Chain A
Amino acid sequence: MEVPSKSHEGWQDIVTGKKTFELRFLAAKIMLGRLVRGVHDNPTPQNIDSRIDLLYNLFAQNSNSITVQADIKTIFGK
């Protein structure tokens, strides 16, 4: 399954906490527990981009997982 590119606004929405989702992928939940707080404490564009990189890579590396595919649909609606 194709993971939406890092420029998709959905990545920014999730790491900034603008939107929250009920996800199933445990590693993503653990990572997001830290990423969202990290962006909240330091909301610079560079920090947001680096957090998006981490989250994007996690989803891309696990994109064959049925659970990850379900979470991508939850976040991006496709």
Chain B
Amino acid sequence: MNQSIITASDVQKKISEGRYLLLAGDESVLEQLPPGNWIGGTIPYFITKEHGGLASREFIFVTDITDIAQSVSIARYNKDTLANVYVEGPKQDFSFILIPAATDTHLSFAMNAPNYKSFGMSPLIGWIAGVHLDDIDTKTPKAFDGSTGGMIEDGALVMRVELKPGKQAEIGIINLFEQGDGDTLTFPSDGFAAREAMVNGAPQNYAAYLRAHNLDTRLPIVADYYGALVSVSFQCINEVENMVHFYAPVFNGIEYKHAKPVDDYVAAFDAQARKVVGLDTDNVVFSCNCVLNYLFSNLENKKTGAFVGPMTFGEIAYQLLNQTLVYLEVKDC
């Protein structure tokens, strides 16, 4: 694994050496960087090997994939053309995607990625760019295209990575949130907000249901996709409209349950990581986790082993996920 948190001047040195880089940092440092073989998304929250959880506007989190990559190319998409992201993906290698949060492209990807043509035909991993929470009303998330020096506030940047011969990529997730023992929820339509939910088959106002049951909305609702636990996080309850808003869409026909609490995130994470990946984490090339886990589980200064990276506004492993660590392994084959 070649991931580290370093200064902008050290990143500039790597760029000048022609290295292939995936970057995460505050806008103020990413915009200083020269053109090169890199893409970067804005976010100032990280889990690092050295310091554990860290918020910094000065440092840049670097994932250097030079040692595993034969070549890279960078493509830009908009909310409509992004439907081709799988069709145009490398067959045996992987694609890394960055999408600024709260944009049309973010919403479109979240809603439609599972139905994109050729879904899953090649590994797609990445994250949703964000901002420091103090800046949420004054700055917009961005993605930077090192190949041109340009920046986007809407759209998606995708780095297509051709791996060196004899290597293959595999994507995994670690979601500590399991379905609780409570009611089964379904929703009448797809969307980032819901007024009504079917609770064990009976329609109810979902906001009123959450209040009546005093449910902790720091915990997500969780769907079981054939053994893969997929979380959807709560954004807020609009008391005026009696609407519940989420950070990812709920989908009609999918059954959700409120998650069980996780008492000690780090201990539970370590146990789950050992179960999923084992003790040999040398093949883990990239990972990112959710800023909500950083906040709600108090991860500042806490370490999560080999799984380091940005703490984001959404995680992408083939589709958008919430409150989940996604990781990329590159193995010999």
Q: Is A34 an interface residue (CB 8 A)?
A: yes
> What distance in Å separates the Cβ of A77 from its nearest Cβ neighbour in chain B?
19
The docked-state distance in angstroms from the alpha carbon of A65 to that of B317 is 17
> What distance in Å separates the Cβ of A20 from its nearest Cβ neighbour in chain B?
8
Closest to A60 in B: B121
The docked-state distance in angstroms from the alpha carbon of A67 to that of B92 is 13
Q: Is B278 an interface residue (CB 8 A)?
A: no
Q: Are B172 and A26 within 8 A (Cβ)? A: yes
The contact of A62 among B121, B230, B331, by CB within 8 Å, is B121
Which A residues are in CB contact (< 8 Å) with B92?
A: 64
Which A residues are in CB contact (< 8 Å) with B122?
A: 61-62
Across the A-B interface, the 9 shortest Cβ-Cβ residue pairs: A33-B225, A27-B120, A32-B226, A29-B228, A29-B226, A61-B121, A33-B226, A30-B225, A58-B120
The docked-state distance in angstroms from the alpha carbon of A51 to that of B288 is 32
Q: Are A34 and B118 within 8 A (Cβ)? A: no
Q: Are A64 and B168 within 8 A (Cβ)? A: yes
The contact of B118 among A20, A23, A36, A61, by CB within 8 Å, is A61
Interface string of A3-38 (1 = CB under 8 A from B): 000000000000000001011001111111110111
Q: Is A50 an interface residue (CB 8 A)?
A: no
Q: Are A67 and B223 within 8 A (Cβ)? A: no
> What distance in Å separates the Cβ of A75 from its nearest Cβ neighbour in chain B?
12
> What distance in Å separates the Cβ of B306 from its nearest Cβ neighbour in chain A?
19
Q: Is A41 an interface residue (CB 8 A)?
A: yes
The docked-state distance in angstroms from the alpha carbon of A30 to that of B91 is 19
The docked-state distance in angstroms from the alpha carbon of A26 to that of B318 is 8
Most chain A C-beta atoms within 10 Å of own C-beta, residue among B168, B225, B253? B225
The contact of B225 among A32, A61, A66, by CB within 8 Å, is A32
Q: Are B226 and A23 within 8 A (Cβ)? A: yes
Interface of B with A (CB < 8 Å)?
A: 91-92, 114, 118-123, 168, 170-173, 223-228, 230, 253-254, 317-319, 331, 333
The contact of B114 among A20, A34, A62, A64, by CB within 8 Å, is A34
> What distance in Å separates the Cβ of B29 from its nearest Cβ neighbour in chain A?
32
The docked-state distance in angstroms from the alpha carbon of A30 to that of B318 is 9
Q: Are B91 and A29 within 8 A (Cβ)? A: no
> What distance in Å separates the Cβ of B218 from its nearest Cβ neighbour in chain A?
25
Known: A58-B119, A58-B120, A58-B121. A66 touches B168 (CB 8 A): yes
Which B residues are in CB contact (< 8 Å) with A32?
A: 225-226
Known: A26-B172, A65-B170. A31 touches B333 (CB 8 A): no
Known: A64-B92, A67-B170. A57 touches B333 (CB 8 A): no
Known: A34-B114, A58-B121, A65-B168. A29 touches B225 (CB 8 A): yes
> What distance in Å separates the Cβ of A60 from its nearest Cβ neighbour in chain B?
9
The docked-state distance in angstroms from the alpha carbon of A65 to that of B224 is 24
Which A residues are in CB contact (< 8 Å) with B254?
A: 33-34, 37
Which A residues are in CB contact (< 8 Å) with B120?
A: 27-28, 30-31, 58, 62
The docked-state distance in angstroms from the alpha carbon of A27 to that of B118 is 11
The docked-state distance in angstroms from the alpha carbon of A67 to that of B329 is 12
The docked-state distance in angstroms from the alpha carbon of A61 to that of B318 is 15
Most chain B C-beta atoms within 10 Å of own C-beta, residue among A29, A37, A66? A29
The contact of B318 among A23, A27, A34, by CB within 8 Å, is A27
Closest to B225 in A: A33
Known: A27-B120, A31-B120. A37 touches B319 (CB 8 A): no
> What distance in Å separates the Cβ of B257 from its nearest Cβ neighbour in chain A?
14
Known: A26-B228, A33-B223, A64-B333. A57 touches B317 (CB 8 A): no
